[in-house]
Amino acid sequence: MINYELIHPTLLEALAQSGHGTQILIADGNYPHNTGGPTGAVRVPLNLRPGLLSVDQILEVLVTAIPIEAAAVMSPPDGNDPPAVRGYRELLGPSVPVTSYPRFDFYDAARSPSVAVIVASGDIRQYANLLLTIGVKTSAG
pLDDT digits (tens, 9 = 90+) for 92-124: 999 999 999 999 999 999 999 999 999 999 999
Residue 141 belongs to some domain of the structure: no
Give 2-12 pLDDT, tens digit per residue: 667 898 999 99
Q: Which pLDDT score, from 0 to 100, does residue 22 have? A: 97
The residues, any chain, with a CB within 8 Å of residue 95's CB and separated by 6 or more, are none
Are the beta carbons of 63 and 6 closer than 8 angstroms? no
Q: Which pLDDT score, from 0 to 100, does residue 138 have? A: 83
Verdict on whether the full-model pTM lies above 0.85: yes
Residue 59 belongs to what domain range?
A: 20-31+43-134
Specify the CATH number for the domain of residue 59.
3.40.1650.10
Give 10-31 pLDDT, tens digit per residue: 999 999 999 999 999 999 999 9
Closest CA to 29 of 126, 103, 132, 131: 126
Q: Which pLDDT score, from 0 to 100, does residue 2 have? A: 64
Q: What are φ and ψ of residue 66, in 5° steps?
A: -140, 150
Q: What is the identity of the amino acid at 101?
A: Y
Residue 9 belongs to some domain of the structure: no
Q: Which pLDDT score, from 0 to 100, does residue 99 have? A: 97
Torsion from C-alpha of 41, 44, 48, 54, nearest 10 degrees:
-80
Residue 7 belongs to some domain of the structure: no
How large is the average pLDDT for residues 41-65? 96
Q: What's the structural domain count of the chain?
A: 1
Dist CA 120 CA 127 (whole Å) = 14
